[in-house]
Amino acid sequence: MALTINGSPEQKKLTQTPLLKIWVPWMGCNLNRRRGSSVPQFCNSPTLIVMVGLPARGKTYISKKLTRYLNWIGVPTKMFNVGQYRREAVKIYKNFEFFKPDNEEAMRIRKYGQQACAAAALKDVSSYFTKEQGQVAVFDATNTTRERRAVIMSVAKEKGYKVFFVESICDDPEIIAENIKQVKFGSPDYVDRDIDEAMADFVQRIECYKASYMPIDDDKDRKLSYIKIFDVGIRYLVNRVQDHIQSRIVYYLMNIHVTPRSIYLSRHGESELNLLGRIGGDSGLSPRGQKYASALAAFIKGQNIKDLKVWTSHMKRTIQTAEAVGVQYEQWKALNEIDAGVCEELTYEEIQQNFPEEFALRDQDKYRYRYPKGESYEDLVHRLEPVIMELERQENVLVICHQAVMRCLLAYFLDKPADELPYLKCPLHTVLKLTPIAYGCKVESCFLNIGAVNTHREKPANVDVNRDPEEALQTVPDHI
C-alpha cells in the first residue's frame, strides 16, 4: 500500500522505474531505492506474534491462516511451530505419560526440551528477521505459563521486536473434540494409532497442560499488547494495539470463522474479445459464453447450496454470466479485471509490436509489472483485500470474475507465493470449488463441458528485452 522514499536534499530529477512505474529520484546510475521498494512499510521494527492457549484451541489454525493472509497482502511472514521442533528433537513419542507433570524424568527432559525447542525456534526467528528480511514471525506454541512468556518477551525486548499475543480460550467440549479429530489425527504424533486411543491420549495431554495454565491476566498483563479470542470468535478482548500491522491483524482475526462453507470461483463466460485474443475491454459474452452461463446456472442448482451469495465485477461479461444463474447478485468494482492501461484491447502480437520492452519486462516479473497507465498484479492484490475480508466473513459465495482477479483470489486460498500467482491456471468455463478443511483448502475443479479459447500464456523461455518477436510470442495461445 505505502512505499517509503527518503527525500533528497537537492531537488533531484525524477525518473519512473520501468517495471513498477514508480517515480523515484534519479541518483546517477544506481537508483536510490529502498530494499524491495514495492513492499508496504507497515512496521519499522519486526513483529513477533505469540500464540497462547491449551492444545486443540486452534492456535496452529490461526497461525497458518494469519501467516497466509499477511504474506498475501505483502507482509513477509513466517510461522514457527514449536511442536515441530519438539518432534524432531524427541524422535520417540511414547504417549501422554511424557507430558504428565508428576513424571519427573520426563518433566526434566520436557522442560529442558521445551526450553531448547523454544530457544531453537527463537533463534530461527531472529535469523528470519535479520537475514531473510521477514517482518512478522508467528510463534506457535502453547506458551501457557507466565514464565515461558516472560522468556520470550525478554528476548524480544533485547532484539527490538514488537510483541503481540494471540490467546485462544475455549471450553466447549464439542469444539475441542472436533478440533482434535480434524487436525490431530493427521499429526505425525498419532500416525500409527487407533483413533479412540489417540483421542483419549490427547485429552489427557490437554489435562497435563491445564494444571499449569496461566492465561494472560487482564490486570497483571495490562501493559502487554494482546487479543484474547473466546469461544472461536463470539467474544474478543483487545489490549493496547500498538501500530498499523497489529490493527490489521486484529481486524482479520475478528472476521474469520470456522463455520463449514464453500467458495466457488469462476470466470465470466467466454467473451467476444477472448475469441479475438484481445486483453481487457468490456465486451459481452460469445454464444459459447452464453451457453456456459446456462451451464453454470444448472451446476449451481445441482449443488443445492444454502443461502448462496453471488458476486460479480462491474464489467458486462461477468454480469451477463450472473444473470443466467437467476439469483440476486452484487456488483463489486473491486472485482474488475486488471487494468492493462495503454494495452487495453490489444492482442499479445500488437503489444509485442508496439511495446516490445514492456512485454519483456512483464515476462521478467509478472507480479510486480505495472502496465503503463494501468495496474500490476501487486496493485490488484491491494484492491482485492476488502473482497477477501468479506469472503472470510461470509459463508457460501460464488464469485464470478476475471482471469487475473481469480488468480489473486486463488493464490490467497491456496497460499501461492507472488511468483506463482500470475501463472495459476484459471481457464474459462471451469468452476473451482474451495472448501476449507483442517489447516488448508480442498479444491475441486469442475469443467462444465462448454468449449472455450485458452487465454493462458505461459512464461516464455527468453525474457530478455532484446529477444526476437517469435521468442516473445511463442507461448501465446491460439485465437482468431
Partner 1 sequence: MDKTPPNPRELTQNPLKKIWMPYKNGLPEKHISQRKVCMTNCPTLIVTVGLPARGKTYISKKLTRYLNWIGVSTKEFNVGQYRREFVKIYKSFEFFRPDNEEGLKIRQQCASAALNDVRYYLTEEGGQVAVFDATNTTRERRETIIQFAEQNGFKVFFVESVCEDPDVIQENIVQVKLGSPDYTNCNTEDAVQDFMKRIKCYENSYETLDEVLDRDLSFIKIMDVGQRYLVNRVLDHIQSRIVYYLMNIHITPRSIYLCRHGESDLNVKGRIGGDSGLTPRGKEFAKKLSQFIQKQKISDLKVWTSQMKRTIQTAEALSVPYEQWKVLNEIDAGVCEEMMYEEIQENYPLEFALRDQDKYRYRYPKGESYEDLVQRLEPVIMELERQENVLVICHQAVMRCLLAYFLDKTAEELPYLKCSLHTVLKLTPVAYGCKVESISLNVEAVDTHRERPENVEVSRMSEEALLTVPAHL
Show the binding pattern over residues 8-47: x = contacts partner 1 (CB under 8 A), - = does not. xx-xx-x-x----xxx-x---------------x------
Choose, by CB under 8 A, the member of 332, 359, 369, 377 that binds partner 1: 332
- SS3 label, residue 421: helix
Nearest distance in Å: CB 50, partner 1: 18
- Compute the distance between CA of residue 85 and CA of residue 95 in angstroms, rounded to an integer: 17
Among 33, 78, 87, 244, binds partner 1 (CB under 8 A): 244
Residue closer to partner 1 by CB (options 125, 335) is: 335
When binding is defined by CB under 8 A, the residue of 4, 44, 115, 133 that contacts partner 1 is 4
Retrieve residue 339's grid coordinates: 487494468
Report the distance separating Cα 211 and Cα 221, nearest Å.
20
Closest C-alpha to 398, from 317, 315, 333, 301 = 301
Identify residues 181-220 at the interface with partner 1 (CB under 8 A).
218
CB of 412 to partner 1, least distance (A): 18
Task: Name the CA radius of gyration of the chain, rounded.
Answer: 25
Q: How many residues bind partner 1 (CB under 8 A)?
A: 62
- Cα–Cα distance for residue pair 256/393, rounded to 1 Å: 6
Closer by beta carbon to partner 1, 206 or else 305: 305
Q: Around Cβ 480, how many Cβ atoms within 10 Å?
A: 9
Instruction: Decide: 389 and 406 in contact? Cβ < 8 Å.
Output: no
Question: Of 4 and 154, which CB lies nearer to partner 1 in the complex structure?
Answer: 4
250 lies in the site for partner 1, by CB under 8 A: yes
For position 175 contacting partner 1 by CB under 8 A, the verdict is: no
CA separation for the pair 144, 146 (Å, rounded) = 7
Strand locations in 170-282 (E):
226-230, 235-239, 263-267
Using rule CB under 8 A, residue 417 touches partner 1: no
269 among the known binding-site residues?
A: yes
Q: From 108-116, 159-167, 308-316, 450-458, give the range in contact with partner 1 by CB under 8 A.
A: 308-316
Residues 308 and 262: their CA atoms lie apart, in Å, by 9
In the numeric block, which cell numbers belong to residue 285? 459474452
Per rule CB under 8 A, is residue 144 in the interface with partner 1? no
**Does 238 help bind partner 1 (rule: CB under 8 A)?**
yes
Which of residues 197, 251, 442, 451 is near partner 1 by CB under 8 A?
251
> Which residues are the active-site residues?
268, 337
Cell 498499523, residue located:
244
Q: CB-wise, 151 or 241, nearer to partner 1?
A: 241
- Which DSSP category does 278 fall into? B
Hey, what amino acid is at 299?
Answer: F
Counting Cα atoms < 13 Å in the Cβ hemisphere of 116 gives: 12
Cα 348 to chain centroid distance, Å, stands at 30
Q: Is 431 in the site for partner 1 (CB under 8 A)?
A: no
- Report whether 402 belongs to an annotated binding site: no
CA-CA-CA-CA dihedral for 264, 269, 273, 279, to nearest 10: 10
Provide, rounded to whole angstroms, the least separation between the CB of residue 251 and partner 1. 5
Nearer to partner 1, 9 or 28 (CB): 9
- What is the C-alpha to C-alpha distance for residues 375 and 377, in angstroms, rounded to an integer? 7
Site residues (vs partner 1, CB under 8 A) = 1-9, 11-12, 14, 16, 21-23, 25, 41, 218, 222, 234-241, 244, 247, 250-251, 254-255, 282, 284, 290, 293-294, 297-298, 301, 314-316, 319-320, 323-324, 326, 328, 330-334, 344, 373, 379, 382, 390, 393
Q: Which residues are annotated as a binding site for substrate?
A: 267-274, 317
